[in-house]
């Protein structure tokens, strides 16, 4: 467990960054609405930038949600199974998550490299380099892969379904 402390600190920073990005996106959307209603105009980039912020926020929050056991699952079925079967299904899910996350890191990195080499930018007036936005995928999925590997190695605590996040 102590080995995963650095991963927990990384999660904390990623969550703070994700929260800041969501707040910044909300602020930009609010500013855009005010500008359109008060000044009847707003910069064209003000509608694009919040979307980029949300993309980054989602990928940064992926790993933290996985480490807390907040990924989607069939709790209603899993809760009825014995703890040993729950543990085996958790490990199988972590293995599947590791494979998928690793594939997304690889494919996302290739896409980022291609966009960077081509100098691809968004079609709006902001002309944001696409690789800046797309790089959220390999970064977030790399963090997710680290958590999946930590769970497989037993460095993250397995939480039986009855200890997982409650369904309200």
Kindly report, residue by residue over 33-83, the tens digit of the pLDDT. 999 999 988 888 888 899 999 999 999 998 888 877 777 666 777 778 888
Query: Residue 167 has what pLDDT?
Result: 47
Contacts 24+ apart (CB under 8 A), 34-40: none
Six token digits for residue 93? 């899910």
DSSP string, 74-87: -HHHHTTS-HHHHH
**How many residues does this entry show for the chain?**
168
Whether the pLDDT of residue 157 is over 70: the answer is no
Reported as a single tens digit per residue, the pLDDT across 134-143 is 999 999 999 9
Helix segments in the chain, DSSP class H:
5-38, 45-67, 75-78, 83-118, 130-134, 136-152
Task: Check: CB of residue 98 under 8 Å from CB of residue 148.
Answer: yes
Of 22-26, 103-107, 146-150, the one with minimum mean pLDDT is 146-150
Distance in angstroms (rounded) separating the CA atoms of residues 29 and 22:
11
Query: Residue 74 has what pLDDT?
Result: 66
Of 6-20, 41-55, 94-108, 154-168, the one with minimum mean pLDDT is 154-168
Cα-to-chain-centroid distance, residue 127: 24
- Per DSSP, 121 falls in state B
Burial code (b: 16+ CB inside 10 Å, e: under 16) for 30-45 equals: eebeeeeeeeeebeeb
Q: What are phi and psi of 129, to 5 degrees?
A: -60, 130
What predicted TM-score, i.e. pTM, was given to this entire model?
A: 0.82
> Could you tell me which of 45, 31, 32 has the C-alpha nearest to residue 126?
45
Query: Residue 45 has what pLDDT?
Result: 84
Reported as a single tens digit per residue, the pLDDT across 79-109 is 788 888 888 888 898 899 999 999 999 999 9
């Amino acid at each position: 467990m102590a080995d995963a402390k650095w991963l927990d600190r990384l999660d904390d920073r990623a969550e703070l960054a994700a929260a800041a990005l969501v707040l910044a996106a909300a602020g930009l959307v609010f500013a855009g609405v005010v500008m359109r209603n008060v000044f009847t105009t707003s910069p064209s980039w003000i509608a694009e930038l919040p979307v980029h912020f949300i993309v980054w926020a989602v990928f940064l929050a992926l790993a933290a949600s996985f480490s807390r056991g907040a990924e989607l699952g069939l709790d209603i079925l899993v809760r009825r199974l014995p703890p040993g079967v729950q543990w085996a299904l958790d490990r199988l899910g972590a293995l599947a998550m590791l494979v998928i996350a690793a594939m997304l890191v690889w494919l996302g990195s290739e896409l980022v490299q291609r966009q960077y080499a081509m100098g691809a930018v968004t079609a709006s007036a902001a002309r944001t380099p696409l690789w800046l936005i797309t790089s959220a995928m390999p970064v977030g999925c790399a963090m997710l892969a680290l958590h999946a590997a930590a769970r497989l190695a037993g460095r993250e605590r397995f939480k039986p379904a009855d200890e997982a996040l409650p369904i309200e």
